[in-house]
Each structure stands twice: as structure tokens, then as C-alpha cells.
Chain A
């Protein structure tokens, strides 16, 4: 049994979600190969070769794979994937974009966002916004799976010494082109990898008031998230959204400020180790999942909390 893991990478570095995906592969058992597809990804391949437990790194370095266009990357993964028992990718926006295309090319069903490995063919995954956990068994010749990073502890980024092998295949479907991107700039830890996350909701009232959360987050070394209400109201950009349709986080500490706790939001954070809720409505559903709840006006409580830290 040999498992192919599709590496997520950005700015010439291996993204943390790759390490969680390798951890899921290790739970399945067998040799683990990592595919690094992109343009100018030599350094990424070297970094991938150092990941603990990886025995081989395949590098597909070609202009066609820049920006991870699925029309080009999916045929590559499908071609390579035929030789593997499992093809895994992190359930990031790239992984979700590319892998179902791979599965269809291989004519197999895909299993999305697994949170645990029961055996080599049986996996658990959340459905209904995390309100139920399905145990799914696959009889597919190649099991194509996306991995929810928060379900698996990351393997060490160092300690491995895999062989690096170039892949010659270049698929350029010529159907799509990258036009541009607008990436949010932030010095704070990336939301999905942060140990502490501070999130604001509609109760923040406006975007300017998020400065209170940024100040608190900086004291804690935390990432800052938001509910859909805060994003829809234009307080903060979309990529900060935590929930069923946004990012899934499971930090050590999640502080929900002015967030009522709709099920779509809980879907994105209820696996956090410790949840704190600060809300002036003591009936807010968020208090049903919070380990520590404080019924208070956030505009008094948040600055006071920051001062006490």
C-alpha cells in the first residue's frame, strides 16, 4: 500500500495543512509519497523531503502548474494516482478545488474532509454542518480523500530524508488562465494553524471596533476570525470567516466575542479545546458550547481582558 499526498504550498514553503495530511496518511499506514506540483518549487520539494515519515517526493515543476489550476493539475494527479492505493490532499480551498476533479477522472467517489481514520478503507467525516458524524467505507481501487487538518496532529516538518524525483509529465489543458489575486495581508498567525483564535461577530457593530480584538489577539499571539454576520456586514474580509462555509479551526483556545453561536458558526469551531464566550445576551446559544462564559458588554470586557494579560 502506497499513499500519495498532494502538498499544499505557498510562497515557496510547505503549508502547515500538508503536515496534518501526512499524519492522516501515516494513520492509514504504508509508504507515503508527496507530490509537489507548481512552478519554481525546488525549495518546496526539499522541504517536503524533510517531513517525517515521507519516503519519496515527486516534483512536477512546470509553468502549467503555477497557481494550481485544476484543469492542469488534476490530470497530473489522476495519472500518477492510478499507481497508489490512496490519494490524499488537505481540505484547503486548493484541495477542495482539485481533488474531486481527480476522483472523477479516476472514476471513483471522493471522501471529503475526513476527521479520523478507522482503517485503510473506513473513515469518519462530519455531515450536516458537523451535527452528525458519518462512518464511510470505500471499495474504490484508489481512495481519493480530502483531510480536515484539525482532525489530525501535524507530523514533524523535520527528521525525514526522502528521495526527490522529478516528474516529466506536463498537462496543459489550455482551458483556463490565472488573471490575478488579492491576498489579505496579516502579520498575525494563520487562522487554521493558530493556537489561540479571537473571533468577532455582529456584536462588534462595525469594522473599526475590530481593533479591540486585534489588540487582544496581539497580546495572546492569536489569529483573528469572524462570524458570517460580521463578514456579510462588511466589518472584515471573507477569508476571516469561521464556520461551515468558511474556515474550520480547532485551536487550544477560541474566544468568541459578540457571536450568538448559530450552528453554521459552531461547525467551524466547536472542536476547539477551550471555548470562551463574551456576550451580553445570556440566552445566546454560544453559551451552550462555551467552557467559560462571561455575560458582559464586550466593549468593557475586551479592553479589561487585554489589560489583565
Chain B
């Protein structure tokens, strides 16, 4: 997911600055999700955890599984993307923050760790907002936080040797039952085909007399 690439990149940059000692990358999904973990390891993560679950899970179940991993690993900072571009939910980071009792810095475009706090500049509707959060904290990334790097071939090779642990939701003691189900998925209503106008004058005439929107 593009926002997750940005999250991995930010973690790697924090390590490069000497602010982070270890980067653990985690995902929840089928065994094929190991490929995404290997990619993150090639980008600079130190080790990976796959919570193996074959069914598609809702954000709350994902947040509960991540909470169990957070409890075990005790990170000071957890970085997630702000939303996945398939479900477009924009929930998991906030839910994980609630379950962990951590502060949250969502839609981050700048992250500055200083001592036991992190200053997060957030993209909000009217502009930018900066909050100071006590560590440990949750950050979710917005598009403009950074420009993710590409994995180099030597790093892809090295990533194959980095540790990748697999656990199950049962082993983490987490129930993934949901209060929500998708009844159906439809294509959105199609827009009827439009026309091409020949001139600006014709455009103005159509907008005034046909569409009546100006």
C-alpha cells in the first residue's frame, strides 16, 4: 500500500538519524504477504512478523492483532499508513492508538522525535496542525511525509536472510469476529457520455442554456 511504503521510509530515516535502534515490520494476511514483508526488509527494516490470517479482516480486528504485537514488542513509535487504498477506511491507526492507550498523530506530513515526545505536523482540512505527543505514540502517514526509496538489488538479496516470524491470531489470543459484513459490491453509476464543444463560446452557451449551472 502506498501509504505503508511512506511509513517504512519514515522508520528507516529515523534509524538513519540514530533516533531508532530497531525497525520491526508487521503485516496481517495470507502467507503470500511475506513478499510485502521482504520488500520492507529490503528497504531497511530489521525483522518482520507475519500474523497469518486467511480471511479478510476489518480494521478493528487488525488493530487488536497489532495491539497484541505492540504489547509483546514494546515499540516507542508505531507508524502506519493513513488508509489502505482498497478499503479506504482510514481507521486502523486510530483504533490501535485507542486500544494501546497511546496518543495519535494522524495524517502526518512531518515527524520530529525529541526526547520522550514526538512532534507531529498533521494535514488537516484548513491547512496544517502540529501536536506534541508523549511516547509511545502512533503516527499515520500522509502522502507528503516523504518520498519512499527503492530497494537495491543487494538489499533485496540481504533481506532474504533477515528474520521473519510467523504467528497466528489464536497464538496472540485475539478474537477477530466482526460486527460488520459486506452484503454486496456494485459498480458505481456510470456517467452518461458527454460531448466535446468546439469553442469557449459554445461551452459558455451550453453551461448557461443546457446545463443551467452558471
Binding site for B on A (CB under 8 A): 10, 67, 69-71, 74, 92-94, 96-105, 107-113, 122, 126-140, 173-184, 192, 196, 220, 228, 231-232, 237-239, 244-245, 247, 252-253, 270, 273-276, 282, 287, 289-296, 301, 304-305, 308-309
Indicate whether A100 sits within 8 Å of B59 (C-beta atoms), given known contacts A74-B98, A179-B131. Answer: yes
The reply on B9 being an interface residue by CB < 8 A is: no
A108 and B196: CB pair below 8 A?
no
**CA A211 – CA B181 in complex, angstroms?**
48
Closest partner residue, chain B, to A195 (CB atom): B213
A136-B134 CB under 8 A given contacts A10-B126, A104-B60, A178-B129: no
Bound together, the chains give a CA A181 to CA B94 distance in angstroms of 21
Determine the chain B residues whose CB is within 8 A of the CB of A301 once the complex forms.
Answer: 200
Known: A137-B181, A140-B180, A245-B142. A110 touches B127 (CB 8 A): no
Q: Return B26 CB to nearest CB of chain A, in Å.
A: 18
| Chain B count of residues within 8 A CB distance of the other chain | 71
Is B128 within 8 A of A182, CB to CB?
Answer: yes
State the CA gap A178–B120 with chains docked (Å).
10
Q: Is the CB of B194 within 8 A of A103?
A: no
Chain B binding surface, main DSSP class: mixed
Contact among B86, B99, B195, B214 for A104, CB-based, below 8 A: B99
The winner among B99, B102, B197, B200 for most chain A CB atoms within 10 A is: B200
CA A71 to CA B97, docked complex, whole Å: 9
User: B106 to chain A: closest CB distance in Å?
Assistant: 5
With A110-B91, A292-B195 given, is the CB distance from A274 to B207 under 8 Å?
Answer: yes
When C-beta atoms are compared, the residue in chain A nearest to B105 turns out to be: A176
User: A39 CB to closest chain B CB, in angstroms?
Assistant: 15
Q: Chain A residues near B214: list those with CB within 8 A.
A: 196, 220, 253, 309
Q: How far is the CB of B207 from chain A (nearest CB, A)?
A: 7
Does residue B31 face the partner (Cβ distance < 8 Å to A)? no
Inter-chain CB contacts under 8 Å: number? 238
- Among B63, B129, B211, which residue has the most Cβ atoms of chain A within 10 A? B129
Q: How far is the CA of A270 from the CA of B214 in the complex (A)?
A: 19
Can you report 28 A-B residue pairs in the complex whose CB atoms are below 8 A from each other? A70-B97, A92-B125, A93-B124, A97-B107, A99-B94, A100-B59, A100-B91, A100-B93, A100-B95, A104-B94, A104-B95, A109-B58, A136-B182, A139-B181, A173-B103, A176-B104, A179-B119, A181-B130, A182-B129, A237-B127, A238-B144, A245-B83, A270-B188, A291-B195, A292-B196, A292-B197, A308-B201, A308-B204
Q: In the complex, what distance in Å separates the CA atom of A289 from the CA atom of B190?
A: 9
